[in-house]
Amino acid sequence: MADPAPRSVDQHLAEVLAALEPLSPSPQPLMEALGLAAAEDVVATVQLPGFDNSAMDGYAVRLADVATATDESPVHLPVVGEIGAGQSTGLLALAPGTAAKIMTGAPVPTGADCVVPYEWTDRGASQVRVERAPASGQHVRRAGEDVAIGDLLVEAGTVLGPRHLGLLASVGRPTVLARPRPRVVILSTGSELREPGQPLGTDSIYDGNSFLLAASARRAGAIAYRVGIVPDEPRAFLDALEDQLVRADVVVTSGGVSQGDFDVVKEALRPHGVWFGPVAMQPGKPQGFGFVGEDRVPIFTLPGNPVSSYISFETFVLPALRKLMGLLPHARPQVRARLTHAIASPAGKRQFLRGELDVSGAGAQVAPVGGPGSHLVGDLAASDCLIVVPEDVTALAAGDTVSVVRLDEEF
């Protein structure tokens, strides 16, 4: 069966994104929620601080009792108790003319209206000499001064970071409603493939792609299930796929999608209605996308050349995973940089060359790393960005400005 007419990168990405809906939110334990998009407005049901408490280790006193205290004319007060954080002492009220030892974070007894830090006293145990007067309310952290009941703590859509999670825990929330991590199953096809650590034959190679793709999926925030190698036999491929669908929100395969005599993925999935066709890009021309199984699990069938697989993931799968997770923007932002060297590019295709970005000087500069070959994994690992050459551009000179996708940046 002949391939359809080529799609542009933008068309293919638009088709993919239009076919997917964000995953339904569910309660996530806080540590699972790091990097996820909140799916609820979290409103405070408690105040912070929860009670008036001391900001210093010292003595809780009534200001009126110590207002005149100086080095030359100290005030002496009996010490009637000691209040530690989390140690309920029963000292709930402070009588006039007395002081209570108090530790940072411990509740300030009623009647007391300020705290004298140890440094302003003789640290006495049964009687304290106060040598300096605090201001009214000094060193007391008031209940509710930080967060009041009813405050909006986290807005729906917020990408939850360490500070949000710390706040949610501080108000006593063990979970937060968020869009979950997609479970991504990664299958490598190819009878030539071997698992790293196993012996190689003269015509076999190690399966780098399933690691490249699984690590990329995990980096994107997904749960990656690296299934590993499936031979070039449609039945074996369909069986392996069928086994995995139960734990997949997305399937990603590599290999078996071009014009060869053993293009297993294409052969196995075309009858199931998966779209296969060329996308006007280099690397990454042969692509496939569709839905498989009773639950209509989305499947991306990426080309087997390692650089093609990786760039296809970055260009199509990453935005899709971010849509499932409710994260914006879907695609990585691009920056502009000046080329250090001239480059050429095929007409009519968007080219993604590997590069190294230098933002240390006055203006960003990008140097091409290696050539355009889609087998160059050494150069891929040495790069930190993709240089994007538009479809209608065939040559760029040193000093020209190009768009660059930074590969390792959080966004």
Ligand X SMILES: Nc1nc2c(c(=O)[nH]1)N[C@H]1C(S)=C(S)[C@@H](COP(=O)(O)OP(=O)(O)OC[C@H]3O[C@@H](n4cnc5c(N)ncnc54)[C@H](O)[C@@H]3O)O[C@H]1N2
Query: Which positions lie near ligand MOO, rule CB under 6 A?
Result: 282-285, 303, 305, 308, 374
90: Cβ–Cβ under 8 A, 6 or more apart, which residues?
none
By the rule CB under 6 A, 358 interacts with ligand X: no
By the rule CB under 6 A, 259 interacts with ligand X: yes
Comparing CA positions, the residue from 232, 229, 235 lying closest to residue 186 is 229
- Give the whole-angstrom CA distance, residue 55 versus residue 48: 14
Using left for φ > 0, alpha for ψ between -120 and 50, and beta otherwise, residue 86 falls in left
Is the separation of the CB atoms in 200 and 194 below 8 Å?
A: yes
Is the separation of the CB atoms in 34 and 161 below 8 Å?
A: yes
Give least dist CB 21 to ligand X, A. Answer: 28
- Name the strand (E) or helix (H) holding 301: strand 297-302
Part of the chain binding ligand X (CB under 6 A), chosen from 18-26, 43-51, 297-305, 349-357: 297-305
Among positions 107, 109, 234, 303, the unique one binding ligand X when judged by CB under 6 A: 303
Contacted entry of ligand MOO, ligand X, none for residue 209, CB cut-off 5 to 8 Å set by kind: ligand X
- Ramachandran angles phi, psi of 247, nearest 5°: -115, 25
- Give the whole-angstrom CA distance, residue 291 versus residue 3: 18
Give least dist CB 303 to ligand X, A. Answer: 4
Contacted entry of ligand MOO, ligand X, none for residue 315, CB cut-off 5 to 8 Å set by kind: none
Give least dist CB 359 to ligand X, A. Answer: 31
By the rule CB under 6 A, 255 interacts with ligand X: yes
By the rule CB under 6 A, 286 interacts with ligand X: yes
Pick between residue 116 and residue 213 the one whose CB is nearest to ligand X. 213
Find the Cα–Cα–Cα–Cα dihedral 344, 345, 346, 347, rounded to 10°.
-100
By the rule CB under 6 A, 308 interacts with ligand X: yes
How big, in percent rounded to 5, are the helix, strand and coil portions of the chain?
A: 20, 30, 45
What three-state secondary structure class fits 152? strand
Pick between residue 286 and residue 326 the one whose CB is nearest to ligand X. 286
Give least dist CB 282 to ligand MOO, A. Answer: 5
Joined tokens for residue 212: 């490249």
Among positions 285, 323, 349, 354, the unique one binding ligand X when judged by CB under 6 A: 285
By the rule CB under 6 A, 188 interacts with ligand X: yes
- Give the whole-angstrom CA distance, residue 277 versus residue 290: 12
Among positions 190, 234, 326, 372, the unique one binding ligand X when judged by CB under 6 A: 190
Maximum CA extent, the chain: 100
By the rule CB under 6 A, 221 interacts with ligand X: no
Pick between residue 157 and residue 277 the one whose CB is nearest to ligand X. 277
By the rule CB under 6 A, 288 interacts with ligand X: no
By the rule CB under 6 A, 312 interacts with ligand X: no
- Give the whole-angstrom CA distance, residue 121 versus residue 58: 8
Using left for φ > 0, alpha for ψ between -120 and 50, and beta otherwise, residue 362 falls in alpha
Part of the chain binding ligand X (CB under 6 A), chosen from 104-112, 121-129, 144-152, 279-287: 279-287
Pick between residue 91 and residue 252 the one whose CB is nearest to ligand MOO. 252
Q: Which parts of this chain interact with ligand X (CB under 6 A)?
A: 188, 190, 192-193, 205, 207-210, 254-260, 263, 283, 285-286, 303-306, 308, 374
